[in-house]
Amino acid sequence: MPALIHPQLPLGFVPGELYTFESLVTASNPVLIGIARQLAQGDGERQLFLWGESGSGKSHLLQACCNHAARHGLTVCYLTRNELEGQPVDMFEGLEQLDLVCLDDVDQWLHQADWQVALFSLINRVRDAGHRIVMASSIAPDESFVSLPDLRSRLAWGPVFQLHALSDENKNAALRYRAGQNGLELPENVADYLIQRYPRDMFGLFERLAELDKAAMAAKRRLTIPLVKSVFGE
């Protein structure tokens, strides 16, 4: 299993500068960020469950945990629906050896009984090993997508936090921060224009920003509303 052969590089996750606690713009309780940061460096809580609608920052927060843990010399694993679909449930075997396991999109792959049993077992093994696990879902853990009662209780063994959708002001700040990470200056009015005209979820907006980054570099132009219109064919 790649996560165990190369323990500093988690399966499906590449440590980098984009997904960090510093770059996280979220409408969630700041207490959550403190708990997540402490957990990711091997202290405090051993389990955390996040839930909320798409674009609320769940995946960013999970990857921030991975980044933070890796920078503290811990072994980490980040798995999403893409890595789990079509795989046998025994791919969870051995993950308890890692310091931190992060599982995203839980509600999208946990419908089958064998995966529920596998996750139940993994949570127990992680705790027995003294390690940590963070999970994220668009649905609360006590909702009906979990049919195994024992697993439903296990999902709430640690703190459970709901993340809320970002306001347009939060999205503006997140876009401008991401642009700055790429060495770009994104004026506030241009960020507002992107938010009002294009996909409202952050991943969609970040994809638009990446396209603009390439176009601005190629044309050697600043990020302006006319440039946005020319790139996206308005």
What is the rounded (10 degree) CA torsion for 167, 170, 174, 177? 160
* pLDDT range class, residue 68, cuts 50, 70, 90: very high
Q: What number is the average pLDDT over the span 61-74?
A: 91
How far CA 163 is from CA of 43, 61, 85, 87, 217, in Å, comes to 22, 10, 25, 29, 35
Q: Among 171, 131, 136, which Cα is nearest to 155's?
A: 136
Residue 119 carries which side chain, given as an amino acid letter?
L
Q: If you average pLDDT over every residue of the chain, what do you get?
A: 84
184-198 CB burial, b ≥16 within 10 A, e <16: bebeeebbbebbeee
pLDDT at 106: 93
* pLDDT range class, residue 129, cuts 50, 70, 90: very high
Could you tell me the sign of the dihedral formed by the alpha carbons of 151, 152, 153, 155, in that order? positive
Give the best-scoring range by mean pLDDT among 23-32, 83-92, 169-178, 195-204.
83-92
Q: Residue 91 corresponds to which tokens in the numbers above? A: 């791919």
* pLDDT range class, residue 19, cuts 50, 70, 90: confident
Provide the whole-model pTM. 0.75
CB 54 within 8 A of CB 201: yes
Between 168 and 101, residue with greater pLDDT: 101
pLDDT at 124: 96
pLDDT at 28: 54
pLDDT at 8: 38
Q: Among 81, 104, 59, 56, which Cα is nearest to 201's?
A: 56
Between 191 and 11, residue with greater pLDDT: 191
How many angstroms separate the CA atoms of 214 and 160, rounded? 39
Q: What number is the average pLDDT over the span 95-99?
A: 95
pLDDT at 104: 94
Q: What number is the average pLDDT over the span 165-170?
A: 78
pLDDT at 16: 56
